[in-house]
């Protein structure tokens, strides 16, 4: 039996992971679950899967969960905070860790799994965005295995040669084609973008996701973060990665080879496919995803991204080209900006300008350690919040 910890079990990725694991109870045993404050959600999951541990990032939520689980007679041990998350990520009985906590908050638990030499199913792209070089180095030092869960990176992984870590040029890969749906505003008139609402931004045409990542998709910052993540996962430069708008979300990404071949991974837009792939790799298991009906799809369209419409994508390329602490600054400012948009404090188009302002105000360190990266993250958030407050007042 493979022991599984799911960090962020009540989010969309966590729920999908439990769906796949629940189809293969002879193969996977859920050891630990975690959530932020969703006591109701994780209580139901604990009743269904009876994990040894449950962690709430919020201490008050942990106390409430402990009371509820005790009333059900469950022996699940409830932990709290970052220390609790790090503990369940490194348990000796855990083999695989699904890292699905949204945002930079997922970095420390993911690093704990890396340092414990686990197989990390990486859905938390911010871990690599914030600390790419450090994260990859720690994985190499501790023998950890990183398998990407983002549909695009998982598609690339499936299309890559097995020895891609030798260097893409050495194994004949010339280009990564990273697909993107373009989100809900791909064709909206530019002059209308300043008035869009959070509900409009979260209405993704193809994927069912949480509100933060849905806004990131609408701004295409999500794709920008994926460009940064791909640079680290596949040891390549940003100029080797081309973003391709593909509204149908059927081709999840492509790899071009020196002989002119382009390999693509296709499938329905359902995160259970990459989750099942990473859980079973190098084998294959059923995911519960319906077969792709090519006749119903009928056509596949491709467009170049408009950087005037999607300035966040350009900012992400600029950050990874600068490297060092620039991606961490970008990510922190974006998290603050998206939260401010979702809570009605700034407009949609202000997201990009706020991020650009923070990037301009902070120096870039090209050799940061973890402590410095965390300090940079905190400072970028402070400057972003200060900018929002000063603009409002």
- Write the DSSP string, 207-243: ----HHHHHHHHHTHHHHHHHHHHHHHTT--GGGEEE
Equal CATH topology for 2-148 and 324-392: no
Percent of the chain with pLDDT over 70: 99
Q: What does the pLDDT look like over 83-126, one tens digit per residue?
A: 999 999 999 999 999 999 988 789 999 999 999 999 999 998 88
CATH architecture of the region 2-148: 3-Layer(aba) Sandwich (3.40)
Which burial class, exposed, middle or buried, applies to 170 when counting CB atoms under 10 A from its CB (0-12, 13-18, 19+)? exposed
- Domain 324-392 belongs in CATH node 3.65.10.10: no
Task: Describe the chain by its helix, strand, coil percentages, rounded to 5.
Answer: 50, 15, 35
Given this model, what pLDDT does residue 393 score? 46
DSSP type of residue 370: H
Q: Where are the domains of the chain?
A: 2-148, 156-267+289-297, 324-392
What value does the mean pLDDT take over residues 129-137?
Answer: 93
Instruction: Report pLDDT digits (tens) over 139-190.
Output: 999 999 999 999 999 999 999 999 999 999 999 999 999 999 998 999 999 9
Residues 6+ apart with CB under 8 A from 178: 152, 156, 223, 226, 227, 230, 241, 242, 243, 244, 253
Q: Which residues in 50-172 belong to E strands, given as ranges? A: 53-56, 77-80, 96-99, 119-122, 145-148
Q: Tens digit of pLDDT for each residue in 335-371?
A: 999 999 999 999 999 999 999 999 999 999 998 999 9
């Amino acid at each position: 039996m493979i022991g599984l910890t799911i960090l962020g079990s009540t989010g969309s990725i966590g729920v999908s992971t439990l769906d796949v694991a629940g189809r293969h109870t002879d193969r996977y045993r859920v050891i630990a679950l975690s959530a932020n404050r969703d006591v109701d959600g994780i209580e139901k999951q604990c009743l269904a899967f009876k994990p040894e541990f449950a962690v709430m990032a919020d201490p008050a939520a942990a106390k409430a969960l402990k009371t509820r689980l005790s009333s059900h007679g469950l022996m699940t041990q409830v932990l709290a905070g970052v220390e609790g998350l790090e503990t369940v990520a490194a348990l000796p009985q855990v083999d695989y860790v699904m890292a699905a906590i949204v945002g930079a908050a997922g970095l420390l638990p993911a690093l704990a799994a890396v340092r414990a030499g686990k197989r990390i199913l990486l859905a938390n792209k911010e871990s690599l965005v914030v600390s790419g070089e450090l994260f990859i180095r720690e994985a190499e030092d501790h023998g950890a295995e990183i398998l990407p869960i983002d549909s695009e990176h998982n598609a690339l992984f499936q299309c890559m040669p097995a020895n891609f870590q030798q260097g893409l040029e050495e194994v004949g890969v010339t280009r990564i084609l990273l697909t993107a749906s373009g989100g809900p505003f791909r064709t909206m008139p530019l002059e209308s973008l300043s008035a869009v609402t959070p509900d409009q931004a979260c209405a993704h045409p193809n994927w069912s996701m949480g509100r933060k990542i849905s806004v990131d998709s609408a701004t295409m910052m999500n794709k920008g973060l994926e460009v940064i993540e791909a640079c680290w996962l596949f040891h390549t430069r940003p100029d080797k990665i081309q973003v391709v708008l593909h509204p149908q979300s059927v081709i999840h990404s492509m790899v071009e080879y020196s002989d002119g071949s382009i390999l693509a991974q296709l499938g329905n837009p359902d995160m259970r496919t990459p989750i099942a792939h990473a859980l079973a790799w190098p084998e294959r298991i059923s995911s519960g995803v319906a077969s792709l009906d090519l006749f119903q799809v009928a056509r596949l369209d491709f467009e170049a991204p408009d950087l005037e419409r999607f300035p966040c994508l350009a900012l992400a390329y600029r950050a990874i080209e600068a490297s060092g602490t620039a991606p961490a600054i970008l990510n922190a400012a974006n998290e603050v900006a998206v939260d401010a948009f979702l809570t009605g404090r700034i407009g949609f188009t202000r997201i990009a300008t706020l991020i650009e302002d923070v990037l301009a105000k902070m120096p870039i360190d090209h050799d940061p350690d973890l402590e410095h990266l965390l300090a940079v993250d905190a400072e970028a958030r402070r400057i972003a919040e200060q900018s929002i407050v000063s603009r409002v007042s």
